[in-house]
């Protein structure tokens, strides 16, 4: 009996140890990104800052909404607790089982090694609330550097891994807002700032300056940079690059009429995503071209908002595309921007469509390689402000901690941190 | 003889001619009534033929047209409605209701080209009339098509010679585009022909932020000073700034009957918002031109509620000799309360002696309690008890419970206050303290509450801090109250010392998390963001289960600048 009792005591001790093991002896923290997560957006900041501080992380593609694995360090727990980020403590045994599950399914574990250096092309003194990416980075606590024309022309882009553009008009026509906002103080300030920069940097006008800036960006991607653009920057960057020898700016912008044969003279070989585009030549029609499917500012052409679906990719064979679409929902409500979507007819062959609206002649989210680098375009201005009127209150992301649209933006921030080289599909 | 049939025929013709409109009108109203009944019963499809019948017989098709629009839209067939409208327009090409419904249907159906054509046809049908421009622009604005609305209104300005007749639509458009100065200018113009749009103006302009507000103020405050424009400015100030600024905007209008009515309406609004002193000033403004006892009482009551007993007393004293005796009892009560708030308990006592017998029993009871509270405010609780006894109100449960609390008899106070349906902040505070301690007596707590009743916040704050040393089981709560009161007196340094001590001495108490949060807010207000962040992080990490954590996280975001201010 004495022997039996001692065995029972040992067994009880073993069971007790096993029960407490995940809490007391955990080696990893799993940051789930499915519906169990209480703050998806801050989770990206947690991972980014862990990488910045020299820790390693892994991105479990297609596993519970694209979860992350971190080392179980007190500082990680502290940051997660402060930001309200859910995490689960895992021991090595559970991580091994999890890896087996990942290996057996359309999932993959991507090592994240280094926090990318981020540059955001934004006017000096612009508040971070004016741009969805700066909003997201600010909220998630991800560091970035704001750069503008001076830095780009000076060749500073090479200092960064990742460049973001938002609603800048690279055709230099200030988004053709002259018609409706010519007297608005903010418009006048924006125009004067552009003219000052052009003069200071030795260009005749804003279109000439922006064309030069666009060319610097093209070279940056060609040499291995990552570009993420949203809203009007997607469309106008393409137009400005294709128009390196063509005048596509209206006379209100540069004092000369645009080239009569502009459509034919555009050089689409140099562009990232688009081809065979028809320019909108009327200065009083608030549209740049037929790239945008929604044409939000043109009465009679404006298309209603629907919802777009993210595509599923093979995590093992197409990790880059997989990283860009990690989310806890596949269907996302659409949102307007100066450029809301991209018409299928203007896409180059080889462009990877990441998300589109079913049955619509446009797509929402695209990606491609260019030279040694790559680019990703997301249409629309602010995922949590679908109409986004000028002068509307800025979005408070603490009210949208699980925003599906903002997750797409933050996927882009982390993907340059991945160790694996992108594989071709 | 031959003339008799002719006269008969003539009378018959006259009779038929005279009766026809009546009969037609009867048919029309019967069809319309039937249609409306069916619509009311939710049978829209059945109502459509009756609306159409009414349309065919009436000289004023508005009711039938609107009914058709409602029912046909519900049935989801805009083409049917457009066909009917087309037939009406053949007969009545200038009919504004038919034209408006036609435009609305086309815009809602996103038939932009057809909408534009219908608009142009309407403009041609009524040259010089602003209605087509107004209606079309408004529909486009509602649909968010600001650019097209801009084009239409620019066209209106050219065709009509000026934008004056479409000023409201221009104002709304400019507001939607963020052109606030232009919007305010257009609203000024619109007020000359459509003062009923004042609320719309406040709604549109109210969205302006930052420096744009001063621009709008400049436009609306410019001469000449018109009531509708000033009402817009007052509405905006009420929303952006304060009731005081709103009254400043409104009071400069030269008074006439309509202005006095506007001031009265404003005073009542200020009362509802508990901006008592602004309400008092607005009543005072009216009283200078329209003096009634009822208004004087309202002004005095507002002053009393606003903790300005001196002016309440002045108002009520001016009523003491008023010939209108219907307000006498109310006036006496206001005067007693004003004297009480001024700490003139003896004068209140004397007034009660003089006028008490003229009051009805209920008002007299209120008057006795008012005098008793007047003694409490002087710190003389025994005299307060004596007043209650003399007036036969010593059994009043509420007053007795409060007196017990002031005397430090926590047991009696606890029993008495728990039975009351009183939700004042003082009662909630007292009950929270009484529920937290099992103690039956505490002179310190009594003194602290008595100091609060005397409106001596500094003494009360110090009293609660002292009491915390004696009443161990309620110590953290008493310290938290003390810190709150010191903060209210702008003595943040003292409050911070107390919070610091509270967190160190009572880390497991619920007040510790509250102390962290309040301390952080003060630090952030004083521009010490890093210290605020440290406090908030301490709260979130130390008290993760606290109900204050979501609030702390939000404060943390604001302190770090990660969300818009």
Q: pLDDT value at position B530?
A: 95
Q: What is the mean pLDDT of residues B60-80?
A: 82
Per-residue burial over A326-352, b if 16 or more Cβ lie within 10 Å, else e, is bbbeeebebbbbbbbbbbeebbbeebb
Q: Is B109 on the interface with A (CB under 8 A)?
A: no
Residue A55 lies in a domain: yes
Domain count, chain B: 2
Mean of all residue pLDDT scores within chain B: 87
Cα separations in angstroms, B557 against A44, A47, A82, B552, B562: 16, 18, 10, 9, 5
> Which residues constitute the domain of residue B552?
509-565
pLDDT higher at B554 or B328: B554
Residue among A335, A391, A399, A406 with most chain B CBs within 10 A, to mutate: A391
Last-in-domain residue among B482, B506, B530: B506
Last-in-domain residue among A112, A135, A160: A112
Whether residues A372 and A252 fall in one domain: yes
Cα separations in angstroms, B504 against A353, B473, B515: 58, 16, 11
Q: Is A393 on the interface with B (CB under 8 A)?
A: yes
Whether residues B429 and B468 fall in one domain: yes
Whether residues A136 and A245 fall in one domain: yes
Does residue A14 have a pLDDT over 70? no
Among A1-5, A18-22, B80-84, the minimum mean pLDDT is found in: A18-22
Last-in-domain residue among A65, A93, A112: A112
Whether residues B476 and B515 fall in one domain: no
Rounded to the nearest angstrom, the minimum Cα separation between A372 and chain B is: 34
Q: Is A260 on the interface with B (CB under 8 A)?
A: no
Nearest to B177 among A129, A184, A302 (CB): A184
Residue B550 lies in a domain: yes
Q: How confident is the model at residue B444 (pLDDT cuts 50, 70, 90)?
A: very high
Residues 237-256 of B with CB under 8 A from A: none
Residue B514 lies in a domain: yes
Distance CA B379, CA A239 (A): 81
Check B140 against A141: CB less than 8 A apart. no
Q: Is A129 on the interface with B (CB under 8 A)?
A: yes
Number of residues assigned to chain A: 425
> Which residues constitute the domain of residue A316?
118-417
Distance CA B69, CA B104 (A): 10
Residue A423 lies in a domain: no
Check A298 against B144: CB less than 8 A apart. no
Q: How confident is the model at residue B324 (pLDDT cuts 50, 70, 90)?
A: low
Residues of chain B with Cβ-Cβ distance to A181 below 8 Å are 177-179
Whether residues A107 and A152 fall in one domain: no
Q: Is B210 on the interface with A (CB under 8 A)?
A: no
Whether residues A223 and A342 fall in one domain: yes
Distance CA B345, CA B384 (A): 9
- Residue whose tokens read 């995590």: A315
Distance CA B497, CA B479 (A): 10
Residues 81-110 of A with CB under 8 A from B: 81-84
Whether residues A108 and A122 fall in one domain: no
Last-in-domain residue among A112, A127, A142: A112
Q: What is the mean pLDDT of residues A53-78?
A: 96
Residue A424 lies in a domain: no
CB B402 within 8 A of CB B420: no
Residue B261 lies in a domain: no
pLDDT tens figures, B130-147: 899 988 988 888 887 777
Residue B468 lies in a domain: yes
Check B147 against A397: CB less than 8 A apart. no
Does residue A423 have a pLDDT over 80? no
User: The complex's ipTM?
Assistant: 0.78
Cα of B165 vs its chain's centroid, Å = 31
Last-in-domain residue among B455, B484, B506: B506
Q: Is B148 on the interface with A (CB under 8 A)?
A: yes
Whether residues B418 and B493 fall in one domain: yes
Count of CB pairs separated by less than 8 Å, A with B: 70
Whether residues A107 and A143 fall in one domain: no
Give the CA dihedral B268, B274, B276, B282, nearest 10 degrees: -30
CB B119 within 8 A of CB B111: no
pLDDT tens figures, A325-371: 999 999 999 999 989 999 999 999 999 999 999 889 999 999 999 99
Domain count, chain A: 2
Residue A137 lies in a domain: yes
Whether residues B495 and B524 fall in one domain: no
pLDDT tens figures, B462-505: 999 999 999 999 999 999 999 999 999 999 999 999 999 999 99
Give percent of chain B above pLDDT 90: 46
Distance CA B199, CA B301 (A): 29
Residue A157 lies in a domain: yes
Quick one: closest CA in A to B112, which residue?
Answer: A300
Residue A318 lies in a domain: yes
Alpha-helical runs (H) found in B321-456: 328-341, 345-355, 361-377, 381-390, 397-406, 410-419, 425-436, 443-453
């Amino acid at each position: 009996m004495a022997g039996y009792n001692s065995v029972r005591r040992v067994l009880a001790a073993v069971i007790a140890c096993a029960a407490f093991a995940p809490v007391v002896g955990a080696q990893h923290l799993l940051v789930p990104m499915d519906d169990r997560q209480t703050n998806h957006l801050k989770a990206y900041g947690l991972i980014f800052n862990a990488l910045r501080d020299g820790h390693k992380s892994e991105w479990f593609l297609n596993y519970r909404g694209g979860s992350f694995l971190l080392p179980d360090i007190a500082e990680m727990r502290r940051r997660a607790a402060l930001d309200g980020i859910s995490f689960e403590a895992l021991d090595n045994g559970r991580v091994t089982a999890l890896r087996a599950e990942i290996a057996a399914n359309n999932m993959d574990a991507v090592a994240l090694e280094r926090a990318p250096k981020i540059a955001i092309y934004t006017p000096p003194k612009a508040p971070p609330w004016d741009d969805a990416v700066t909003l997201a980075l600010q909220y998630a606590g991800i560091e970035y550097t704001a750069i503008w024309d001076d830095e780009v022309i000076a060749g500073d882009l090479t200092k960064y891994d990742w460049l973001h553009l938002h609603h800048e008009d690279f055709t230099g026509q200030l988004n053709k807002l002259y018609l409706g906002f010519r007297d608005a103080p903010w418009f006048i300030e924006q125009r004067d700032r552009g003219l000052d920069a052009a003069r200071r940097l030795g260009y005749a006008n804003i279109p000439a300056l922006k064309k030069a800036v666009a060319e610097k960006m093209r070279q940056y991607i060609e040499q291995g940079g990552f570009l993420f653009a949203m809203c009007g920057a997607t469309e106008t960057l393409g137009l400005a690059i294709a128009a390196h020898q063509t005048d596509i700016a209206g006379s209100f912008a540069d004092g000369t009429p645009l080239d009569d044969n502009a459509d034919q003279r555009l050089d689409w070989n140099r562009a990232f995503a688009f081809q065979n585009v028809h320019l909108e030549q009327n200065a009083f029609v608030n549209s740049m071209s037929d790239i945008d499917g929604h044409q939000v500012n043109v009465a009679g052409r404006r298309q209603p908002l629907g919802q777009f679906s993210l595509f599923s990719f093979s995590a093992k064979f197409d990790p880059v595309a997989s990283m860009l679409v990690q989310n806890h929902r596949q269907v996302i409500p659409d949102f307007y921007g100066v450029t809301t979507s991209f018409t299928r007819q203007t896409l180059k062959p080889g462009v990877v469509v990441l998300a589109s609206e079913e049955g619509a002649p446009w797509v929402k989210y695209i990606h491609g390689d260019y030279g040694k680098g790559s680019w990703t375009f997301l249409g629309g201005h602010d995922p949590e402000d679908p109409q986004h009127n000028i002068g509307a209150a800025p979005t408070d992301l603490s009210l949208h901690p699980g925003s599906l649209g903002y997750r797409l933006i933050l996927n882009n921030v982390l993907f340059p941190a991945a160790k694996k080289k992108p594989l071709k599909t | 003889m031959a003339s008799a049939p002719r006269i008969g025929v003539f009378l018959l013709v006259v009779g038929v001619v005279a009766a026809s409109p009546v009969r037609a009108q009867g048919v029309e109203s019967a069809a319309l009534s039937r249609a409306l009944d069916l619509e009311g019963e939710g049978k829209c499809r059945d109502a459509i033929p009756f609306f159409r019948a009414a349309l065919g017989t009436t000289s004023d098709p508005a009711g039938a047209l609107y009914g058709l629009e409602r029912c046909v839209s519900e049935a989801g067939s805009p083409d049917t409605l457009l066909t009917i409208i087309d037939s009406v327009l053949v007969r009545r090409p200038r009919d504004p209701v038919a034209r408006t419904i036609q435009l609305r249907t086309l815009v809602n159906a996103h038939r932009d080209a057809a909408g534009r054509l219908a608009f142009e046809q309407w403009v041609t049908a009524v040259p010089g009339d602003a209605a087509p421009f107004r209606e079309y622009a408004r529909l486009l604005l509602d649909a968010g098509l600001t650019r097209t609305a801009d084009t239409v209104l620019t066209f209106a300005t050219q065709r009509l010679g000026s934008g004056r007749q479409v000023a409201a639509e221009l104002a709304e458009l400019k507001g939607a585009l963020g052109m606030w100065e232009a919007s305010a200018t257009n609203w000024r113009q619109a007020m000359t022909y459509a003062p009923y749009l004042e609320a719309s103006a406040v709604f549109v302009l109210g969205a302006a932020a930052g420096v744009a507000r001063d621009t709008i103020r400049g436009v609306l405050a410019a001469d000449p000073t018109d009531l509708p424009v000033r009402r817009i400015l007052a509405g905006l100030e009420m929303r952006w700034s304060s009731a005081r600024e709103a009254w400043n905007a409104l009071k400069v209008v030269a008074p006439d009957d309509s202005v006095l009515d506007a001031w009265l309406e404003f005073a009542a609004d200020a009362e509802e918002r508990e901006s008592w002193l602004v309400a008092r000033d607005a009543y005072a403004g009216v009283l200078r031109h329209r003096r009634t006892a009822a208004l004087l009482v309202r002004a005095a009551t507002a002053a009393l509620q606003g903790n300005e007993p001196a002016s309440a007393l002045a108002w009520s004293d001016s009523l003491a000799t008023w010939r209108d005796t219907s307000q006498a009892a109310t006036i006496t009560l206001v005067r007693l309360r004003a004297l009480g708030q001024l700490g003139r308990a003896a004068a209140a006592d004397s007034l009660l002696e003089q006028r008490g017998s003229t009051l009805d029993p209920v008002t007299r009871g209120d008057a006795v309690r008012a005098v008793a509270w007047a003694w409490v405010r002087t710190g003389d609780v025994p005299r307060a008890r004596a007043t209650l006894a003399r007036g036969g109100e010593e059994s009043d449960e509420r007053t007795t419970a409060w007196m017990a609390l002031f005397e430090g008899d926590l047991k009696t106070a606890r029993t008495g206050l728990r039975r009351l349906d009183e939700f004042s902040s003082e009662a909630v505070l007292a009950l929270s303290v009484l529920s937290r301690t099992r103690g039956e007596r505490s002179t310190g707590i009594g003194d602290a509450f008595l100091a609060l009743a005397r409106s001596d916040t500094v003494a009360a704050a110090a009293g609660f801090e002292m009491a915390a040393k004696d009443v161990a089981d309620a110590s953290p709560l008493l310290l938290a109250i003390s810190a709150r009161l010191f903060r209210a007196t702008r003595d943040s340094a003292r409050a911070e010392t107390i919070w610091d001590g509270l967190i160190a001495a009572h880390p497991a108490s619920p007040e510790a998390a509250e102390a962290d949060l309040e301390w952080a807010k003060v630090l952030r207000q004083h521009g010490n963001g890093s210290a605020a962040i440290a406090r908030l992080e301490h709260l979130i990490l130390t008290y993760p289960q606290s109900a204050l954590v979501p609030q702390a996280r939000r404060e943390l975001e604001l302190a770090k600048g990660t969300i818009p201010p």
